[in-house]
Amino acid sequence: MLLQPPPDALVQADVRRALDEDLGSGDVTAALLPDVPERAYLLCKEDAVIAGRPWFDACHRALDPQVRIEWNIEEGARVAAGSVLALLEGRSRALVSAERTALNFLQTLSGTATATAAHVEAVRGTGTVILDTRKTLPGLRQAQKYAVRTGGGANHRIGLYDAVMLKENHIRVAGSVARAIAKARDAQPALPLIVEVETLDQLREALAAGCDRILVDDFTAADRREAVRIARAAPFDGRIPLEVSGGVDLAGLRAIATDGVDFISIGALTKHVRAIDLSMKLGPPPAR
């Protein structure tokens, strides 16, 4: 997988905000250390998919532009517990001042990438694509969506501006699925249009009216399979892909994928974040 790096301006803005939050008027504890050249190593304490190197590097370079960071792994690599991920050489005070913020980015984004990779593996061979949602940590949406891509998933809409997504309230106000679709097409003809449906009748209406993707929300297994059958049969012939959302967990993921849906969107990838256990220690890494 060719991973597109995150925009540098995004990374720098995230890092400035995070360092300002942590350092405030200055690291009073680091000031107790002699400011001398020092080495450090970055250790991963559990199996993981690593994501967030650009943020980790930027945290350290913001405080010590001359720091040397030698990575032993590529972004997106799977690593085993006990792996030394990187070696660092820089000023002692800058290394310890940047440590927590750098680890916060790396452990959080690696957690998202690791969870995504597990979900992608669960549907391997089915053709179903794993999507994220907008259920992200405030201020870290772009970073977490990058981590989803690092883990092998794909991104749903980034925000409320880059796609039209019609849900229950929009359909209720418009009076029908078809009317809601017509109104959305008139207002935003250039944007992708996604329609969430709750019944098979609404599915048929959305298929007939036309859109870019249909999200079948909280369907039973039987209704989900019928939705796939309807969408792929004449006259619709599979032209509009189906997305499943709601009530999705890792254990039941493959069963949903084998029903033939095109996408499964999972808020837990970015909402239920379990950070990967990482540590950075001064000195050389232990001999193995």
pLDDT in tens, 210-267: 999 999 988 999 999 999 999 999 999 999 999 999 888 899 999 999 999 999 999 9
Does residue 106 share a domain with residue 54?
Answer: yes
Does residue 237 share a domain with residue 102?
Answer: no
Does residue 170 share a domain with residue 66?
Answer: no
Task: Look up tokens 């974040």; give the residue.
Answer: 273
Distance in angstroms (rounded) separating the CA atoms of residues 62 and 169? 46
Assigned domain for 248 exists: yes
pLDDT at 247: 80
Assigned domain for 230 exists: yes
Residue 65 belongs to domain with CATH number: 3.90.1170.20
* Mean confidence (pLDDT) of the chain: 96
What is the band of 15 on the pLDDT scale with cuts at 50, 70, 90?
very high
Query: Which phi and psi angles does 273 have, rounded to 5°?
Result: -85, 125
For residue 139, the enclosing domain spans 124-271
Does residue 178 share a domain with residue 84?
Answer: no
pLDDT at 287: 79
Does residue 116 share a domain with residue 128?
Answer: no
Least Cα distance to 178 among 214, 209, 216 occurs for 209
What total of structural domains would you count in the chain? 2
Does residue 157 share a domain with residue 77?
Answer: no
Q: Write out the catalytic residue numbers.
A: 100, 135, 167, 196, 217
Does residue 247 share a domain with residue 236?
Answer: yes
Assigned domain for 194 exists: yes
Segment 181-193 shows an average pLDDT of 98
Does residue 146 share a domain with residue 80?
Answer: no
| Residue 190: alpha-carbon gap to chain centroid | 25
Does residue 267 share a domain with residue 151?
Answer: yes
Token pair of 216 as six digits:
């079948």
In the chain, % of residues over pLDDT 70:
99
pLDDT at 181: 98
pLDDT at 3: 84
pLDDT at 2: 67
Least Cα distance to 257 among 118, 119, 112, 114 occurs for 119
Distance in angstroms (rounded) separating the CA atoms of residues 27 and 162? 40
| pLDDT tens-place string over residues 135-175 | 999 999 999 999 999 999 999 999 999 999 999 999 999 99
Beta bridge partners of 195: 166, 214
Characterize the bridge pairing of strands 242-245 and 37-44.
Answer: unpaired
CB atoms within 10 A of CB 247: 11
Does residue 71 share a domain with residue 142?
Answer: no
Assigned domain for 1 exists: no
Is the per-residue pLDDT at 69 higher than 90? yes
- Is 166 within 8 Å of 193 (Cβ atoms)? yes
Assigned domain for 85 exists: yes
Does residue 138 share a domain with residue 247?
Answer: yes
Token pair of 98 as six digits:
């940047």
Amino acid at 203: L
Is the per-residue pLDDT at 66 higher than 60? yes
Distance in angstroms (rounded) separating the CA atoms of residues 234 and 231? 8
Segment 69-77 shows an average pLDDT of 97
Residue 213 belongs to domain with CATH number: 3.20.20.70
Does residue 211 share a domain with residue 109?
Answer: no
Characterize the bridge pairing of strands 37-44 and 83-91.
Answer: antiparallel
Assigned domain for 215 exists: yes
pTM for this prediction = 0.95
pLDDT at 113: 98
Least Cα distance to 16 among 110, 139, 106 occurs for 139
Assigned domain for 3 exists: no
**CA geometry: angle at 40 spanning 38 and 45, to 5°?**
165
Assigned domain for 2 exists: no
